[in-house]
Amino acid sequence: MILAKIHVTLKPSVLDPQGSAVTKSLHALGYDEVEDVRIGKFMEVKVNTNDRKTAEERITEMCEKLLVNTVIESYTFELTEV
């Protein structure tokens, strides 16, 4: 069994209103060193295979097809055996 941990974030060129709101809140709390906050999604997808290459291909396909809107979002993932 392989577990894919997928991070989806808005592309750097796309304004992240949630991130901006949280940046402002952190500043209001005195965390002036905060430069920027980006908020994304974290997904865990468990796939029933032990072949890393297959898992990588399938997860990439899932991301491109459904999990990520590649017009505005980018993604990374890491695979671990579980």
Nearest CB to other proteins, comparing residues 44 and 51: 44
Q: With H, G, I as helix, E, B as strand and everything else as coil, classify residue 29.
A: coil
Largest CA distance in the chain: 48
**Least spacing, CB of residue 72 vs other proteins, in Å:** 5
Q: Does 18 bind other proteins (CB under 8 A)?
A: yes
Among 29, 30, 42, 71, the residue binding other proteins under the rule CB under 8 A is 71
Distances 66 to 30, 61, 62 between C-alpha atoms, Å = 39, 8, 6
- Residues in the site for other proteins, rule: CB under 8 A? 10, 13-15, 17-18, 21, 66-67, 69, 71-72
